[in-house]
Structure formats: structure tokens, C-alpha cells
Amino acid sequence: MPQFDVATFPTQLVWLAITFVALYLVMTLVGLPRVGGIIAKRRDRITGDLDKAQRMKAEAEAVIAAYERALSEARTKAQHALRETAERLAAEAAEQQRKLAESLNAETAKAERRIAEAKATALQGVRQLAADVAQEAAGKLAGAAVDPARVKAAVDAVMRDHG
Amino acid sequence: MALQLEPLEQFVIKPIVPLHIGKFDVSFTNSALLMTIAVLVVSAIVVIGTRREELVPGRIQSLGELAYEFVGNMIDETVGAEGQRYFPFIFTLFMFILFGNLLGLIPFGYSFTGQIIVTFAMAAVVFIGVTLIGIWRHGWHFLSFFVPHGVPFVLLVLLVPIELLSYLIRPFTLSIRLFANMLAGHTMLAIFGGFAASIGVLGLLPLGLDILIFFLELLVAVLQAYVFAILTCLYLNDAIHLH
């Protein structure tokens, strides 16, 4: 077998050493640091991108939370304002109603008083008139002057009896 | 046609540029040429293929990264983090053998890994290197590697020589495994090729077989490079962690 030809051993060993050491040096000094660098850079980039995505997601969530908080605050404020306005309006309405009722009551009372006065005056007039008529009628019928005081008393008695 | 019918003729070392140092013949031969080509191809893949340092790698850059991570993981799994110090050596060894094997399969190529002296030299470097690492890390304690734990003293008399022998035999098994695989594969290819050339139309059958064997040899080429590298890692692991 050619493999056991010892005369070829020196050249094979020498060239094996030369080529192997050359490859080792090229790999150690240039190739492997470069490939390792590329792989490390890619890994860094990927983890960096993931971190960034995570951060942005967190930011987006914070913005959403703030928006929702603002929204709910605005809603509460609006409801509050609505309730206040409604209460104020109701109070005003009640106040006006009360005032109206008061003034109406006052008017009514005044009117009743006036009516009572008018009634009293009218009654007074009627009594006087009745007394005069009675006195006149008695004078004409009896032909004698009747004491006005008695006529008046009689009229009063009749009016009292008939209301 | 002067086709080679002698299946072992393909392993002959032929000088291309005759050189002599003293009484030694150190000619630049077909074997040396293929070693040089292997170095150039591996350098092209790992150095030139990655020159643009793309974040999204192209084909050749992917190949370089694949090899890098493959060897890196292999060391991680067998030796652990301490093994990464020897990563450049194991990477060089793996790529050198891998492309030595693969280039040998190209027609008119030459397989320098089919030479016992080449595989033995590499195995010897691994063996001596690993032994030195073991002694450097553990001093005299390294000898405990040959003494199995929890064994009665009487048995040790038997077991220590066995352990020692199985350790010393490593460079031979490591080198012969690769050498024999390459030798057998290339010889088989040549024999079937010889048949195909010599028996006319019937030669289509051995030709078909040859093609199948070629694909098998492609697998063997990768596998044997892997085996050589991973055994180196395992030996390294023994030296670093003992048993």
C-alpha cells in the first residue's frame, strides 16, 4: 500500500504542519473572531429589539391607562355637574313656587278682606235702608212717627233671625 | 483508455514541485496541494464569506456560522465552558478533516485523510496535547485517571494496566478509524469504477452502485470528521475533569 511508503512521510508531515498551522492562524486571528462577532452582534440586536418592543408596549399601556383615567375622570365630573345643575334648578323651581304660593295666598287674603268689608258695608247700607223703609212704611201705614231707635232694633232682630 | 484498474494507485503520493531539506524529501505533492486547497476553501468560507458581516447572512456566511455554532455546541455539550479555550483548535481540526474528506470525493481529487501518517500525526497532536493539558491542570493527580474509583486493591493490579492501555491506544484508534474509513471508501469507489469501465454495457450496474457508494461516502466524510472532532472533545473532557 502506498500509505506505508515511509519515504513519503516527511513531505506529508511537513505540509500537514504548514497547512494546519496556517489554517489555525487564519481561523484564530481573523475567521473565528469575525464569525463570533457577527453572531454576538445578531444576538445583541435581537435582544435589543425585544427590549425595545417590551418598552414600547409598556409605554403604550401606560398611555392607554392614562387615557382611560382621564376619560373616567371627565365622566365623573360631567355627572357631578349634571347632578348639581339639576339640584340647583329644582331648588330654584321650588323657591319660585313657594313665592308664588305666598303671593297668591296674600292676594287671596286681601281679596277676602275686601269682600268682607264690602259685605259689611253693604249689610250696613241694607240695614239702614231697611230701617228707613220700615220707618217710612210704618209712618205711612200707622200715620204716626215711629221712634227710629225701635225700628232699628226691630230690623236688627229680623236680620239676625234671617241671617 | 488507461483507466486505473489498480484501486490503491489513487493513494500514491506524487511530487508536483520537488523539494529537499537535507536528506528529507519534502516535495510539494498532490497531497500537499489538496491540503492547501482545503485551507483555502475553509478560509474562503469562514473569512471571505463573512467579510460583509451581514445581520441576515447570505449562503456562504450561513455556512461559516453553521460550522462555528456546530463546533461551539459540540464543545459545550461534551466539555463545558472550560473547553471553549480550545475552540479554535477543534474548529480548525474539524474543518480541515471535513474538507480533506470532501475534496477527496471530487473526481481527480486526492484524499490526504486517507494517509495513515496524516491521520496519525493529527491524532498524536491531540493525544499529546490533551495529556499535557491534563498534567498541567491536575499535576500528579492526573494519574488518578487510571485508577477506577471504588475497586478493591487486588483488582486494581489488573485494572490499572487496562486503563493505561486503553488510554495509550487512543491515538491509534483515533487515527486508524479515519484512515480506514477513507481507505475503504475510496478503494470501493475505485474497484466499482474499474468494473464499470472494464465490462462494457454490463458496467452500468457497478456504475449505479458507484453512484450510491459516492453518496454513502459523502455521509462518511462528514461523519468521520465529526467523530474525530467529538472524540477529541471527549478526550479533552477527560483531561479537564478526569473521571
Q: Please tell me which of the candidates A10, A17, A28 has its beta carbon nearest to residue B25.
A: A10
CA distance A20 to B126: 13
Phi (first) and psi of residue B15, to 5 degrees: -70, 140
CA distance A26 to A33: 10
- Looking up cell 473526481 gives B107
Residue A87 lies in a domain: yes
The amino acid at B197? A
Residue A5 lies in a domain: no
Residue A119 lies in a domain: yes
CA distance A27 to B67: 12
The pLDDT value recorded for residue B13 is 81
What's the structural domain count of chain A?
1
Residue A108 lies in a domain: yes
pLDDT by residue for chain B (243 residues), tens only, comes to: 344 457 777 788 888 888 888 788 888 888 889 999 999 999 999 888 888 877 788 888 888 889 999 999 999 999 888 888 999 999 999 999 999 999 988 887 888 998 899 999 999 999 999 999 999 988 888 888 888 888 888 888 888 889 899 999 999 999 999 999 999 998 888 888 888 877 777 778 888 888 898 999 999 999 999 999 999 999 999 888 886
Mutual orientation of helices A32-142 and B59-78 as an angle, nearest 10°? 100
The pLDDT value recorded for residue B5 is 57
Residue A131 lies in a domain: yes
Residue B196 lies in a domain: yes
CA distance A15 to A24: 14
Is A92's pLDDT higher than 80? yes
Residue A69 lies in a domain: yes
Residue A102 binned pLDDT confidence (cut-offs 50, 70, 90):
very high
- Interchain CB distance below 8 Å, A11 and B26: yes
Give B-chain residues touching A2 at CB under 8 angstroms.
Answer: 8-9, 11-13
The pLDDT value recorded for residue B243 is 67
Q: Cα B211 vs. chain centroid, distance in angstroms?
A: 23
Is A97's pLDDT higher than 90? yes
C-alpha cell at B173: 484508534
Q: Which residue of A has its CA nearest to B19?
A: A11
- Interchain CB distance below 8 Å, B68 and A35: yes
pLDDT in tens, B147-184: 888 888 888 888 888 989 999 999 999 999 999 999 99
Binding-site residues on chain A for chain B (CB distance < 8 A): 1-5, 7-17, 19-20, 22-24, 26-28, 30-32, 34-39, 41-42, 45
Q: Which residue of B has its CA nearest to A46?
A: B55
Residue A8 lies in a domain: no
DSSP state of A31: I
Q: Which residue of B has its CA nearest to A10?
A: B26
Residue B4 lies in a domain: no
Q: Which residue of B has its CA nearest to A44?
A: B55
Q: Which of B11, B35, B56 to mutate to test the interface with A (most CBs of A within 10 A)?
A: B35
Residue B19 lies in a domain: yes
CA distance B104 to A122: 150
| Cα distances (Å, whole numbers) of residue B41 to A23, A84, B87, B212, B218 | 10, 87, 20, 26, 17
Rounded to two decimals, what is the model's pTM?
Answer: 0.73
Least confident of A30-34, A80-84, B229-233: A30-34
Q: Please say whether the beta carbons of A8 and B13 come within 8 A.
A: yes
A110 by Cβ neighbours in 10 Å (0-12 / 13-18 / 19+) ranks as exposed
Judged by DSSP in three states, B56 sits in coil
C-alpha cell at A54: 417590551
pLDDT in tens, B67-96: 999 999 999 999 888 888 999 999 999 999
Give B-chain residues touching A26 at CB under 8 angstroms.
Answer: 39, 43, 46-47
The pLDDT value recorded for residue B133 is 92
Residue A133 binned pLDDT confidence (cut-offs 50, 70, 90):
confident
The pLDDT value recorded for residue B94 is 95
Note down the domain range covering A93.
20-162
Residue B1 lies in a domain: no
Residue from B47, B81, B82 nearest B67 by CA = B47
Q: Which of A1, A6, A13, A20 to mutate to test the interface with B (most CBs of B within 10 A)?
A: A20
What's the structural domain count of chain B?
1
For residue B2, the distance in angstroms to the closest alpha carbon of chain A comes to 20
Chain A interface includes B13 (CB < 8 A): yes
Give A-chain residues touching B64 at CB under 8 angstroms.
Answer: 31, 35
C-alpha cell at B32: 500537499
Q: Which of A6, A32, A47 to mutate to test the interface with B (most CBs of B within 10 A)?
A: A32
Residue A129 lies in a domain: yes
Residue B105 lies in a domain: yes
Note down the domain range covering B167.
9-241
C-alpha cell at A83: 347632578
For residue A55, the distance in angstroms to the closest alpha carbon of chain B comes to 23
- Interchain CB distance below 8 Å, B47 and A41: no
- Interchain CB distance below 8 Å, A27 and B183: no
C-alpha cell at B95: 474543518
For residue A47, the distance in angstroms to the closest alpha carbon of chain B comes to 14
The pLDDT value recorded for residue A66 is 95
- Interchain CB distance below 8 Å, B29 and A34: no
Q: Please tell me which of the candidates A10, A17, A20 has its beta carbon nearest to residue B24.
A: A10
- Looking up cell 313657594 gives A98
